Amino acid sequence: MVIKKDKKVLVVYTLEPWDHALTHLRFRSPAQLLGWEVIQGREGSNVQDEFVREADFVIIQRVFPHWRDSYQKVIEKARSYQKPIIYEIDDLLIALPPDHPCVDWYRPALEDILIGIMDADRVVVSSELLRQIFSIFNHDIKVWPAFLPDSLWKFAEGQKKRANGNRVRIGYMGGMTHIPDLDFIYPVLNKITDDWGDEVEFHFWGCKPSQSLNGHVYIHYLDEKIDYREFIGEFSKAQADIWLAPLQDTIFNRCKSSIKYWEYAAVGGAGVFSDLEPYRSVVRNGDNGFLVSDQRDWYKALTKLIADTALRTSISIAAHETLSTYGWMRLHLSEWEVIYTTTNHKYHHVTNAQDPEIKALRRFAEQLRERSRQKDEYISALREDIHRIQGYLQQLEVRSQHLDAILNSRSWRLIQLIGKIRGFFSAKRQ
């Protein structure tokens, strides 16, 4: 690969799809808006660790350290060439709720995430609470909140949209991981349909509550791994008078970003948001959205908005003004640039660091990784044993079928008859 050295170069190692929202929001869009070159370090199962040499910065995202051999090669190359290593994570993946749909998928990678954090020269997160939690494992952590890349959301600037029709349209957009959050307000939504009947309708983009709602309900399919540009193209068509953003009160949800606020503000409508950290930083209660704490507050806010068209309009306008003054990525590019350009290679392995806490935690994570590897090897050996036993059982079944065929054959019956006759004459001679 030929790399132009007249601009900054990032090489990124991630297990996320290259065109997913996470790659655009966290590094691709800000880097490209600054004119930097972004190189994909992994394509399919092929990891190109040699790209490290020509890069200015090495980004490790989320669970890439779980590809342990490939990850270790990248880290060794980065240290050899004295390239700054930046670990990027936007979720508290080490503390997923028990009912989270992906908890089993992430569990094997927990110790790898911790090692990724501790190996990095700098960690970049999306919220202040994430910074506080991960600062136990690395003292150099910077916050880059989630903003909308205006280079991709061009349609939204200055655009005001409202749903057509006589019914008040209530909308929600989110992936399948948010089903537990939607289920949390299911009783409220059901009561709204009972109380307002034909005056309201619900539209769900992506996931929907696990239980059926009465009334007018419309489901709009969104692929979980959709290209972010395709997502924008689809969601830009969405229209709703009221938008829902429920989050259960868990430490995982408290660490999330405010990206959903910006997405709702871009398409227009009045939003109702759970009163947790992700939305407290941007929502002025009753002005550019509503913050609610429990099901009673959810019902009050929704009924207030359903009944008051002027209030919905004013909140929608205020939300878009908030987006215009604070939510667009171009307004914060210098902050992102400083985070990356001030990252320095530490020139030493973390295990040689003087901080005893970091050394102890890293050794703890390494032992967890070794225990996990031993468990995987044990499971693999068990599977081989099971496969071998299944082979023996199949052979026994075939032999049993052959034996049954022999026992049921005319030849066998004739042999048995001959045996009886011989036995009879032998007895006579005696």
What would the pLDDT profile of 245-286 be if each residue is shown by its tens digit? 999 999 999 999 999 999 999 999 999 999 999 999 999 999
The answer to whether residues 122 and 343 touch, using CB atoms and an 8 Å cutoff, is yes
Question: Is 198 a member of any domain?
Answer: yes
Question: Is 220 a member of any domain?
Answer: yes
DSSP class of residue 113? H
Query: Are 317 and 368 contained in the same domain?
Result: no
Tell me the H-state helices in 26-135: 29-33, 68-80, 103-106, 110-119, 128-134
How much is the pLDDT for 380?
A: 75
The tokens describing 17, both together, are 């799809």
Query: Are 160 and 142 contained in the same domain?
Result: no
Rounded distance, CA 367 to CA 377, Å?
15
Question: Is 263 a member of any domain?
Answer: yes
**CATH number for the domain harbouring residue 135:** 3.40.50
Residue in the block written with tokens 């020509």: 54
Query: Are 127 and 21 contained in the same domain?
Result: yes
Query: Are 138 and 161 contained in the same domain?
Result: no
Query: Are 264 and 355 contained in the same domain?
Result: no
Question: Is 401 a member of any domain?
Answer: no
| Sign of the Cα pseudo-torsion (417, 420, 424, 430, in order) | positive
Question: Is 416 a member of any domain?
Answer: no
Enumerate residues 6+ apart whose C-beta is below 8 A from 213.
186, 189, 190, 193, 202
The answer to whether residues 92 and 133 touch, using CB atoms and an 8 Å cutoff, is yes
Query: Are 133 and 184 contained in the same domain?
Result: no
Q: In the chain, which stretches have pLDDT less than 50? A: 156-159, 348-351
pTM of the predicted model, to two decimals? 0.81
Q: Would you call 9 exposed, middle or buried from its count of C-beta atoms within 10 A (0-12, 13-18, 19+)?
A: middle
Query: Are 58 and 130 contained in the same domain?
Result: yes
Query: Are 252 and 216 contained in the same domain?
Result: yes
Query: Are 267 and 244 contained in the same domain?
Result: yes
Query: Are 240 and 322 contained in the same domain?
Result: yes
Rounded distance, CA 143 to CA 371, Å?
32
How much is the pLDDT for 353?
A: 52
Question: Is 62 a member of any domain?
Answer: yes
The tokens describing 300, both together, are 């009050």
- Domain count within the chain: 2
Query: Are 262 and 289 contained in the same domain?
Result: yes
Neighbours of 18 (CB within 10 A): 14
Question: Is 399 a member of any domain?
Answer: no
Question: Is 305 a member of any domain?
Answer: yes
Structural domain including 304 reads 154-327
Enumerate residues 6+ apart whose C-beta is below 8 A from 109.
63, 65, 66, 93
**CATH number for the domain harbouring residue 228:** 3.40.50.2000
Query: Are 50 and 181 contained in the same domain?
Result: no
